Structure 1
Amino acid sequence: MKIASQHAWKDKDYTPRHDWPGDTLVQWGGSGVVLGKNPYTTAFFEAFPDKDVTAAGGFIRGEGKTIAEAEDDAFARFKKETSCNHLWGREHYTNSGQLCRHCRAFRCNEVKPIVKLGSWRKPVEWYETCLMEIDNKYSRVLRLRAKFFGVTQRPDAPSPSA
């Protein structure tokens, strides 16, 4: 176990109670802020195990009234993750993050991020082709989008040679 360097001066009176394996980096705090719809302050304990220790590697965070309770919470999560037969899925992540569907472990950098290309690269829908003839502020962008995807005229429009 490696203890984060800031604990030479911050929360230095605490010593981890559990035997974290290998080169697991650990850090803690007596009053961390959790942001969200209802922000709150809590004691926390964070561990960053190597991939050779858990299939996920990554990050484990425990919370509690005291740092000791937070470490107990984090170690329980660690034990749960190391005994899980992981089934990974993106869920709501569009970056390279994934969650295990069984134990809720998190891992990152295993899949490529989903790239949002911008609205002008969105393929033209069939109902938009009839709007290409109308002259308004959206028609130029629509015609550019259509040209980008190889649509040069409406499917039901008469051909220029007719």
Structure 2
Amino acid sequence: MTRIIKNTTTEAQHDWPDDVFIQGGTHGVAFGGPDGAYQTAFFEAFPGDTFLRGEGKTIAEAEESCWGQYQRFIVCDGSGEHGPYERREYRNGAGFCTKCGTWMSNVFEPLPEQPRRRPSLLNRLFVDQDPEAVTEVLEAVAHADELPTP
């Protein structure tokens, strides 16, 4: 069955399961790249307790990237089970499967915040509701056409 990618008029190229929410767009703004914000086509899928995102010059390229991540996610090491996990930079309970590399939410107990560590832009925006973060995001979105593309 053909599925339309949410927020687009584009048909998905792959047979995504019905219980996996999919969305995408041609002018996504990504924050936190090595050179700051950038603009990209994107495709996102939400299977289980994870979030997969593919990026590319087109939605089709982005979906292909995301599909590859999804295939690694569902196969992992072949056992059907994810884990063990590693935290990397996350302190909020999220971690990465050491076998397939997939980011997963709620796999650890959250750690206390470090008082000297500046939270990420997304935490400042959605958790702290920091007015400076809101301004930073709105300015980037308003000038999205001027952002570099990967």
* Range of TM-score over shorter length: 0.5 to 0.7
1:19 aligns with 2:15: yes
Q: Distance in 1 between matches of 2:114 and 2:62?
A: 41
Q: Distance in 1 between matches of 2:11 and 2:76?
A: 28
Q: Distance in 1 between matches of 2:4 and 2:10?
A: 11
1:61 aligns with 2:53: yes
Q: Report percent identity of matched pairs.
A: 39
1:29 aligns with 2:25: yes
RMSD: 2.4
* 1:112-123 matched pairs, under 5 angstroms: 112-116=109-113
Normalising to structure 2: TM-score of the pair? Answer: 0.63
What's 2:64 paired with? Answer: 72
Q: Deviations over 1:87-129 (max 9, x none)?
A: 311122111110122322011112210114869xxxxxxxxxx
What's 2:135 paired with? Answer: none
Q: Distance in 1 between matches of 2:100 and 2:114?
A: 33
Normalising to structure 1: TM-score of the pair? Answer: 0.59
Code of the residue aligned with 1:29 in structure 2: it is G
For the 8 Å contact 2:4–2:10, the answer to whether it is kept is: no
- Cα distance 1:31–1:43, how it changes in 2: closer, same or farther (>3 A)? same
Q: 5+ residue gaps in structure 2? A: 117-150
SS of corresponding position for 2:68? helix
Q: Distance in 2 between matches of 1:118 and 1:70?
A: 37
Q: Which has the higher contact order (CA 8 A, sep 6+)?
A: 2
What's 2:119 paired with? Answer: none
Code of the residue aligned with 1:68 in structure 2: it is A
For the 8 Å contact 1:3–1:25, the answer to whether it is kept is: no
For the 8 Å contact 1:42–1:65, the answer to whether it is kept is: yes
What's 1:47 paired with? Answer: 45
Alignment equivalent of 2:93, drawn from 93, 96, 104: 96
1:111 aligns with 2:108: yes
